Structure 1
Amino acid sequence: MAPGNLVYQIILVLLLCSDDAVGWYWWCGEDVTINTPTPMEALSGSCLNIPCTYTDITIDTAQSFTGIWSRNTPAYDQNADNVISVSGSKSYPMDITGNLMNRDCTTTFHDLTQHYEDKYYFRIENGPNKGTAKCSYLQIRVRDFPWSPSIKVSGEQTEAEVVTITCSAVTPCPHAPPQLTWDLHQGTSHITETNITEKNPDGTIVTKAKLSITLTDSHDGKMIKCSAVYPVRRGVSKMSDSNITLSVTYGPKDTSVRVSPSGTLSTGQSVTLNCSSRAKPPVQKFTWFRNSSQGPVSVSEGDTYNFNFTEDVDFYCVASNALRTETSPVIHLSVTVGNNHVPWEAILGAVIGVLAVVFLAVSVWCFKTKCQIQKDKPQAEVVQREEENIHYEEIGLSKLKPKEASNHEEKEDPVYSHVQVSQAKPAEDTVHYGEMNFSKFSPKVVPEKELEETVYSQVQGSNSNSGEQFSDGVDDLYAKVKKN
């Protein structure tokens, strides 16, 4: 062999088989090649599924097949300690589960620990056909902590869009896949979706959970969390999680108008209107409209609008961004003329004041009227009682003879009744008279006590009967009345 060819072969071996292949510098034109993901990573205490296929060797399906995994070196010795798996044997931690006749060398490595981190070489024996994959080896790594799941949102994160959120977790051991759980961080409890396992193009397994959401502006900025719990040996589990924050775009919301100054407005006063709205992306354009008899009229653009009042008017604004537009509620501005505006509070106060004055006046009048009635009532009752206590006796007046009267006057001490004849009273006054019979008194001795008890009664008579009972020129008549 020429020296140049030897140098070439040495360099090629060093390039292709340099990783810790101490002492093994032969030609890598191997007769067997395996296809497997490398490196592969396992979780300590769990298993590792190794997808594997082999090529570049002639096989005879009539012959038996044996697959062998050796550790750290491609050299094969059936009794060597580096042999870690032989197909058909259960005494090794690695178990070839694939159908070697179909060139499938898929293998499961059970209960891995960091002690098993190394390179592994595959050998196939099929009757006279034998070969070892010297350079296409498998690198295995073992970790103590699980992988964080990945979260992906499919579709555009826009208001009203339905998006699918997928949580994915690597699954090195399909026999004990991780359990995925959602946490939406929106006041809801944990949501557990049905987990599904899928095979990647390289043969590895992944566990997924999917969640569909119709987006609204309230989802913007919300964090979504996915947790993965991996079961390991002896009932122990290991957990990891990941989260994402949603960024949802939406049209203008809560569009409103603010008036400055607020309160009472007067004709000719300068007024500023401000339009505000929230949106993502931000509002790109504000347009002001005034209602008129012909319909809405565009009067300005921008988030503020300044003008002088002259009449009652209605305004509203329209906010828009790349997604849509929103119209604010209509605001009515009532303008008062000059400074003659009287606040409704003052009007109400004046009305209450007038009512209070009227009520006070009525109360005073009622009080005075009641007192006057109570004052006059006793006087009326006294007059009435006095009128009820007046009794008149009917006096029958007969013609008295002067001579007889003279005789009696000499012999007796009479009791006199003074009868006064007055003018007749009007017809409406009714006078009741008691009848008194004046006759000759028998001479008798009147006791002194009775003389002291002489009572004079004034009798007022009517002028109508004076002509018949009294002589002309007589004004006073006396009747002798004995006190009973």
Structure 2
Amino acid sequence: CLYLQHLRCLSFFSWFFCSYPKYYAELPNKIMALRGSCVQIPCTFNTPDNMLKNAKSIFGCWIKKNHAFLQPDSLVVFNGSTNIIKGFSHIEILGNLSQSGCTTVFYDVMNNHTDNYYFRVEMKTTIQSKKYWNYTYRYIPINISVSDVPKLPILTPTDLKEVMEKTRVNLSCSAEAPCPKQPPTISWSNIPESAHITTQLQEKPEKTQSVFSYMTFKASYKDHRKNITCTATYPRNTSNDSTVESTITLKVLFSPKETHITIDPSDSVSAGTNVTLTCKSKASPDKMNYTWYKLGQEKELDFGEQLTFNVNRNCGGWYFCTAKNIYGNQKSKEIHRYQYSTIHFTVMVYYVQKPKTMDPQKCHVLFLFLFQGQEKHMEISSIYENSAFATTEELEMPKDETEIHYGQIDFSNSLTKSVTVKCSGQETIYAEVCGSGKD
């Protein structure tokens, strides 16, 4: 059994080495081309020893479909010895054939150019025993595939993991350049503010070329969930260029930021109204714990995203909140929670001489309300007759009397009630009050 296995191994290796070509061309197995553009085929070849050194002339050929030279189903698309080009607008060998270089550019490729292509070399030498050496590298063809749409650019890393804030991030975007004479242009969109970008044309291990664009930046919380896009634009000899793009989503981990408080309702409120304070913040992860404080109190006031209370005389003060996640916490600015709307006024009382037409049992006093503030509806407590009194002392009156309003209030009927006064801006009101002659 061992002897039979040994023979089988020898047979396999003999077949392998015998069938492997002694002369070969190094070509990519397959290359993608864009319709209306060119395609560059990297190519090198080998020959018998000293053949190139003794070559008087050397030419390259490209055969489509069938490697057999001059067969009916084969097509010599390029013959360097006769400069004949068939089926293409132009073909150019860039490589130095005398140094085993056969890199070739096929221009203005179309969809019907998709096929296998074989390289062939033809030489005249000074060697008497072998004046001509013609060889088709039939074992290693290249397949050219022509497409209307270029390949998508490749963003790496393809699956960007979560990154911590302030760490450096490196992204690269590569787009194949089948036609290095007309390479694609790469542009970025929605990039971070600190991004630095470099772009260059590079040769890959298989000798094809691509445009590489590298971007480095320091991650910021403002970049969280940004969709960063790399766009490759290919010029071609058609009515329009071809554009393709790839996108990656950036995920940044950070402690709470932009912590602040919102108030509902935001306008002035009257006593007995419910007011809700909401603590808002940005964080990643966004699961946060909220704590409420009142300035001047050491203990926490409450926990949770919202704080609701009923407005009264004791609810005024400065409030703030803190937001916390696994990476840290942040305190909001203090806000002042105003008390319910009220009215502030100054009463100036002085004795006024009784006119002859007035009831002798009544006296006159003049009092002044000074209002300040924006337009509001406010509750005013009842005014009783014993809250004002006559005096013989002369009080100082306001100097500006351009805005004077007169009115009469009869205190003979003592009523206790509230009235709502609407005031706007800053104004001064004078009123005449008549009190009864009761002792």
TM-score norm. by structure 1 comes to: 0.52
Q: Quote the offset at 1:218 in angstroms.
A: 3.5
Contact 1:145–1:238 at 8 Å: present in 2 too?
no
**Aligned partners of 1:61 and 1:301: how far apart in 2?**
86
Shift of the 273–95 alpha-carbon distance from structure 1 to 2, 3 Å rule, reads: closer
How far 1:164 sits from its partner (Å)?
Answer: 5.0
Are positions 1:178 and 2:165 aligned together? no
**Contact residue 146 and residue 238 of structure 1 kept, 8 A:** no
Higher helix share: 1
SS at match of 1:67: strand
Offset from partner CA, 1:217-262 (integer Å, 9 cap, x none):
33334444444332223x7442213152543423312324578999
1:103/1:70 Cα in 2 relative to 1: closer, same or farther (>3 Å)?
same
1:60 to 51, 54, 67: 51
Kept in 2: contact 1:252–1:278 (CA 8 A): yes
CA contact (8 A) 1:274 1:304 kept: yes
* Alignment correspondent of 2:256: 252
Name the counterpart of 1:320. Answer: 324
- C-alpha deviation, 1:60, in angstroms: 3.0
1:49 corresponds to 2:40: yes
User: Within 2, Cα distance between the matches of 1:311 and 1:228?
Assistant: 61
Residue 61 and residue 346 in structure 1: after superposition, are their counterparts in 2 closer, same or farther (change >3 A)? Answer: closer
1:37 partner SS:
coil
Residues 261 and 109 of structure 1, relative CA distance in 2, 3 Å threshold: closer
Q: What CA distance in whole angstroms lies between the structure 1 residues aligned with 2:75 and 2:46?
A: 23
**Bigger RCO (CA 8 Å, 6+ sep):** 2
**Cα distance in 2 between the residues matched to 1:228 and 1:311:** 61
User: Matched residues in 1 for 2:70 and 2:30: separation?
Assistant: 25
Equivalent residues of 1:179, 1:195 under 8 A apart: no
> What's the % identity of the aligned pairs?
26
Task: Please state which structure has a larger fraction of its residues in strand.
Answer: 2
CA distance in 2 between counterparts of 1:42 and 1:281 reads: 45
SS in 2 for 1:368: coil
Three-state SS of the structure 1 residue aligned to 2:150 is: coil
Shift of 1:216: 3.5
Larger Rg: 1
SS of residue in 2 equivalent to 1:115: helix
Counterpart code for 2:244: D
Q: How does 1:85-484 map to 2 (within 5 A)?
A: 85-87=78-80, 90-92=83-85, 93-125=90-122, 127=125, 128=130, 131-152=135-156, 157-161=163-167, 163=169, 165-184=171-190, 196-233=200-237, 236-244=239-247, 246-249=249-252, 250-256=254-260, 275-286=279-290, 303=305, 316-330=320-334, 345-348=341-344, 351=345, 354-355=347-348, 358=349, 365=352, 368=355
Compute the displacement of 1:89 (Å): 5.5
- In the alignment, structure 1 residue 38 sits paired with structure 2 residue 35: no
Amino acid at match of 1:116: H
Q: Deviations over 1:449-469 (max 9, x none)?
A: xxxxxxxxxxxxxxxxxxxxx
Q: 1:170 offset after TM fit, Å?
A: 1.6
Unmatched 5+ stretches in structure 2 = 1-6, 359-439
Say whether the 8 Å CA contact 1:30–1:134 is kept in structure 2: no
Pair 1:103–1:149, CA change in 2 (3 A): same
Q: Secondary structure at the match of 1:206?
A: strand
Structure 1 position 114, deviation (Å):
1.8
- What is the distance in 2 between the residues matched to 1:298 and 1:344? 24
Rate the CA distance shift 1:284–1:78 in 2: closer, same or farther, 3 A: same
Distance in 2 separating the partners of 1:243 and 1:206: 16
Cα distance change on mapping 1:315 and 1:133 into 2, 3 Å: same
Query: Distance between the aligned counterparts of 2:182 and 2:199, measured in 1?
Result: 12
Q: Which residue of 1 aligns with 2:410?
A: none
Q: By how many angstroms is 1:366 displaced? A: 5.0
